[in-house]
């Protein structure tokens, strides 16, 4: 027996540094999701938590209108599978302790993650999949997964029609979490175990544009070409400046100077100041690259600590 119209949303937000500068976007989009759910018909409670050791230690649900999005302080790579397993187990125990007439008829677990999982040791992919499948089959739970990564694929848990990959860009993060909120809204309006339309192809394209990689590669190639040209111009200007250092400043361009290299008085030529320093191309930071850096740093720390963990040799 459950209470009709009552739903629970458990939030699990990845706080690892893999999300990088997108953490604020995730928090803002999640706050919009809570506001959207609070405005829908029915009663909804939220259990907000983040990845880590306390993911399964829930304090109780709060109304969506009063729920606060947890802060996402970078904790390097987090054990996402272990956190999700602990959350599902802890939430199940919490709901089992309620009177039957107060239990929700719909339970949603929303996971927003960067996809990297280096530290899970308790819950393997198969065990976690079986746990989630049992909750979905027996209690009408639904796990909705938003995976933010440069090469985002479907998460190894939950059904694919509720999982969406997200390009590491602010507008894509907002679109994906909005799509997840729309799905949860549709499911709340339906009865337990009733079929619900999943995340649409249009919503997936908004979260992960088909031309994302093409646009990124084009921008990187263009930036590299501009950097090479700027460096060549800088070398030319430096050489010419050294040769004419003793000459009086004149507004006439140096003979033989390449077109667009600027005038000696600093006046703009071709729309660019002559003394503008060449701009280095800044590589695009992605969740995947940040995760690789995290793994390298973690491996270095393990090597450092291993020096102190060698067993002592006991003489005879």
What global pTM score does this model have?
0.66
Q: Which helix (H) or strand (E) holds 295?
A: helix 287-306
For position 2, what pLDDT does the model report?
84
For position 254, what pLDDT does the model report?
38
Q: Which helix (H) or strand (E) holds 178?
A: helix 170-189
For position 227, what pLDDT does the model report?
59
For position 176, what pLDDT does the model report?
95
CA pair distance 182, 104, nearest whole angstrom: 19
**Residues contacting residue 102 through CB under 8 Å, at least 6 positions apart:** 3, 6
One digit per residue, the tens of pLDDT, for the chain of length 316 reads 688 889 999 999 988 777 778 888 999 999 999 999 999 999 999 998 888 777 777 777 888 989 888 888 766 666 888 889 889 998 998 898 888 888 998 999 999 988 777 778 888 888 888 998 899 888 889 999 999 886 665 454 555 788 888 998 999 999 999 999 999 999 999 988 888 899 998 999 999 888 886 655 555 555 555 555 656 665 565 555 555 444 444 444 434 333 333 333 434 434 444 333 333 333 344 445 555 666 777 777 777 777 766 555 555 4
Going 213 to 215 to 220 to 225, the CA torsion angle's sign is positive
For position 213, what pLDDT does the model report?
67
Q: Which domains does the chain have, with CATH numbers?
A: 3-210 (3.40.50.410)
């Amino acid at each position: 027996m459950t209470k009709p119209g009552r739903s629970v949303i458990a939030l699990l937000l990845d706080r690892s540094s893999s999300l990088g500068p997108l953490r604020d976007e995730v928090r803002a989009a999640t706050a919009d999701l809570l506001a959207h759910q609070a405005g829908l018909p029915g009663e909804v409670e939220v259990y907000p938590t983040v990845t880590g050791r306390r993911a399964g230690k829930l304090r109780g649900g709060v109304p969506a209108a009063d729920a606060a999005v947890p802060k996402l302080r970078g904790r390097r790579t987090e054990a996402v599978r272990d956190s999700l397993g602990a959350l599902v187990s802890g939430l199940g125990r919490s709901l089992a302790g309620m009177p039957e007439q107060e239990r929700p008829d719909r339970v949603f677990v929303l996971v927003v993650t960067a996809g990297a999982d280096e530290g899970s040791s308790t819950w393997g992919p198969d065990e976690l999949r079986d746990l989630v499948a049992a909750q979905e089959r027996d209690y009408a739970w639904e796990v909705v997964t938003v995976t933010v990564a440069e090469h985002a694929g479907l998460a190894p848990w939950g059904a694919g029609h509720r999982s969406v990959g997200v390009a590491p860009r602010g507008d894509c993060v907002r679109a994906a979490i909005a799509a997840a909120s729309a799905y949860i809204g549709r499911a709340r309006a339906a009865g337990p175990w009733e079929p619900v339309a999943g995340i649409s192809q249009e919503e997936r394209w908004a979260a992960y544009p088909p031309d994302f990689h093409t646009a990124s590669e084009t921008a990187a190639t263009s930036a590299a070409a501009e950097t090479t040209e700027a460096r060549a111009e800088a070398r030319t200007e430096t050489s010419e400046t050294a040769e004419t250092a003793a000459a009086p400043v004149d507004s006439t361009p140096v003979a033989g100077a390449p077109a667009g290299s600027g005038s000696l008085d600093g006046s703009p030529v071709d729309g660019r100041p002559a003394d503008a320093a060449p701009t280095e191309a800044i590589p695009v930071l992605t969740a995947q690259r940040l995760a690789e850096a995290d793994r390298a740093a973690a491996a270095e720390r393990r090597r450092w600590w291993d020096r102190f963990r060698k067993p002592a040799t006991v003489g005879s």
